Structure 1
Amino acid sequence: MTIKALNLETHMIFLQSTQKENLWVYAKYLYDAMGQRIRLMELGTYENKTFSYDVLLLYREATMYEIHRHNRTCNKRPLKGDFQPMVIPKDASLLGQVILGSSSGPGEGLLVNTWTGDLPEKAGKFMSTVTEFGCIPVTTVFHTDQFGWVLFSYFDNVIGILDPQELNPPAYCQHAEMKAGDEEPVDFFSLFNNKH
């Protein structure tokens, strides 16, 4: 079973918790499977301090834009790693099927499947819960040695992107230059650790 190669606009709660730090993030998450683009517009807290963060990941161009709307500027950074589609891999194991909510009356519950397996290249483990119909993500938990436990909870999912322009760099980012050698390339998980 796979989450189809669909474009998805969703809101999510992101939690990363380790022994040394706590990071809570509420984000609007735009996911373009076909174009291999992701946009995160976040508001969060790190060590009891609030922050906002807007980032566009363009995997086909190996480029990340940090977008600063308040002063209409952008930072352009190299992006490492391959695009990881939202899929349940073929070698994943089904943990089980449950109803979230209640099965006592019509419309009171949501039928979901929970899968577990290894992250690509055995980088860690994952557990994903998706809807039985449509295979829409509900929660995903990752564990890696580098980042510890990472939890994503998705809600208000919409299939399709309401404003596709949000997956393109704003006009004021067109002249942003990537400074060779100054920036270490980032990947999806490390960008969460680098912004606070």
Structure 2
Amino acid sequence: MYAAITLFVFMCLSATTNADHHHHPCHAPNMTGFMSVLALKGDIKGYGAFTYDSMGKKLRFRSNESHPMNTSVGLDLLMFFDEGILYEIDSKNKSCEKKTLHCTISPLDVPDDATFMSTANGGSPTIEGEGLKVTTWTGSTADMKGHYSMSVTMGCLPVWSFFFHESSSFFVSLTEVENEIKDPDQLLVPSYCLAVPLEETPEGTVNSFLNEFM
């Protein structure tokens, strides 16, 4: 599996499709759906429901809840990217941890400084219902010393993303996406978390969405 994914990444990053300099990074709409996080070594790190507020830059991700997997990490995360805050929530014990969010790049949105790489068709563009046209964007994550490659539909719905870092690399994909926030309460800080103080971050530690799976 690792070899197959590596080959796929290489093909994507080596695409010679003519770059249209009129392309500008788009931004994802509000979304609800399911997200999977896969380490490029083949381990399933997490799978679960997500809710994303594109304007407020807020993300709730609950893994290993309705679809438990022995190899996945059970997480309930609430992230405020603009504010730089990450909550790790334990709803069963009514507790949470409040941390500084160091990497403010959302795994579901193309950054403003992303570079357009190519436009490609998955499947068949000539058979109705059998093709998917995507644009691919690349860039660096300075705060995590890595790079990313994101592919989105023409309506800017993220399909898959690759994140390459010094210690670990991940493949993130979305399914069953709907352009709405079905449950706005998912993006609210639970009452038992409101008074929780911001934890001090140990030197050398980076708090981010992907670091939760390392």
TM-score normalised to structure 1 length:
0.77
What is the identity percentage for the equivalent residue pairs of Structure 1 and Structure 2?
26
Question: Hey, what does 1:13 align to over in structure 2?
Answer: 36
Name the CA distance, whole Å, in 2 between partners of 1:174 and 1:33.
23
* 8 A Cα contact 1:118 1:125, kept in partner: yes
| Alpha-carbon contact 2:119-2:133 (below 8 Å) kept | no
1:137–1:74 CA distance, 2 compared to 1 (3 A):
same
Give yes or no for contact 1:2–1:135 (8 Å, CA) kept in 2.
no
Match of 2:191 in 1: 171
1:25 matched to which residue of 2? 46
SS of aligned partner of 1:119: strand
The CA RMSD measured in Å over matched residues stands at: 2.9
More strand as a share of residues? 1
2:84 partner letter: A
- Unpaired runs of at least 5, structure 2: 1-23
Q: State the SS of the aligned residue for 1:190.
A: helix
Distance 2:91 2:126 in 1: 47
- Alignment of 1:145 onto 2:166: yes
Choose which of 69, 87, 92 in structure 1 pairs with 2:115: 92
Superposition TM-score, scaled by structure 2 size: 0.71
Is 1:56 matched with 2:72?
no
Correspondence list, 1:1-196, <5 A: 1-4=24-27, 6-18=29-41, 22-43=43-64, 49-84=71-106, 86-87=109-110, 92-98=115-121, 100-103=122-125, 105-113=127-135, 115-121=136-142, 123-132=145-154, 134-147=155-168, 149-180=169-200, 186-193=207-214
Distance in 2 (CA, whole Å) between partners of 1:119 and 1:110 is 26
Unaligned runs of 5+ in 1: none
Label 1:6 to 1:16 Cα distance change in 2 as closer, same or farther (>3 A): same
Tell me by how many angstroms 1:185 deviates. 5.5
Figure out how many residues of one structure are paired with residues of the other and give that number: 185
